[in-house]
Homo-oligomer: A and B are copies of this chain.
Amino acid sequence: MVDAGRHHDTCCYVRVVPGLSIFGVPGLPEIEPGTDLAPAIVAAAAADGMPLVDGDVVVVTSKIVSKAEGRTVEIGDVEPSPFALAWSAMWDKDPAVTEIVLREAKRVVRQLGPVLITETKHGFVCANSGVDQSSSGAHGRLVLLPLDSDVSARGIRAGFAELGIDAAVIVSDTFGRAWREGQTDIAIGVAGIAPIYSYIGQVDPHGHEFRVQAICTADELAGAAELVKGNTSRVPVAVIRGFEWQRDETVSIAPVLRDQSRDMFR
């Protein structure tokens, strides 16, 4: 197995690997409300010896975005509704958590047994409206999804630009899927980089025109980033270097959200 060599004593040279490289950005400070993420990420990457460069795709876990934006709720401050109280009692859940999940939802998609799948106000279909109670940094605090992850991503990309770095930004979260066990990281906000790459109209090596294929590269990039973020050290930011993308300041995650009229599974 190749030695990744992050902490080699001697400087380590190898033939450049074509394709992509993906690495985590360790050493970020604890994120507080008001933390300016872009300079914190730039500083941490530089301190780790891997400074950001133009063309990088920086994948930022939504949890630190939410913390920086103050999107947290103290459980003790929440007054559950009668509906939240009754359902939570049936399934041994914290009614305050259920209450916040419902407040974050546009509607309930499935509520079966202890499982609550909602459509968030953004239009994401996920468990518990993306509300995170597992590792919020303090007992009794919930971390909600950013109000608008595209705006969050644009802010971080703009922060990089102020520091002279032209990097795309993807805000990611960990979602479950229909039909398949195990969660994957997917994109909930983008800046600079379009979330979907379409082959439609292009021609394959055998001369056939692609008729339907469009790839959600933003989700693949978010998942790829999880592979280096997702260990017990829980590094919240990863960099993907070498991926070619077209600068576009008009992008949003909206094209990824299937309209309900086109969705056979909602």
Q: Which residues of A contact B (CB under 8 A)?
A: 1-2, 4-6, 11-24, 49-50, 53-55, 110, 112, 115, 117, 124-125, 134-138, 174, 177-186, 195-197, 199, 202-206, 208, 210-217, 219-221, 223-224, 226-228, 230, 232-234, 238, 240-244, 255-258, 263-266
Contact = CB atoms under 8 A, between A and B. Distances in A.
A223 B11 CA distance: 32
B177 A177 contact: yes
Contact of A224 (B15, B50, B206, B220): B220
Contacts of A208: 134-135
A51 to B, nearest CB: 11
| Central interface residue in A20, A211, A233, A241, by most chain B CB within 10 Å | A20
The copy count of this chain in the complex is: 2
A127 to B, nearest CB: 8
B181 A241 contact: no
A135 B205 contact: yes
B11 A21 contact: no
| Central interface residue in A117, A137, A195, A258, by most chain B CB within 10 Å | A258
A16 B124 CA distance: 38
A190 B264 CA distance: 29
Contacts of A54: 1
Contact of A179 (B181, B224, B266): B266
Given A1-B53, A1-B54, A13-B15, A180 B186 contact: yes
Contact of A204 (B11, B55, B199, B232): B232
Contact of A219 (B178, B182, B233): B182
A23 B17 contact: yes
Contacts of A50: 17-18
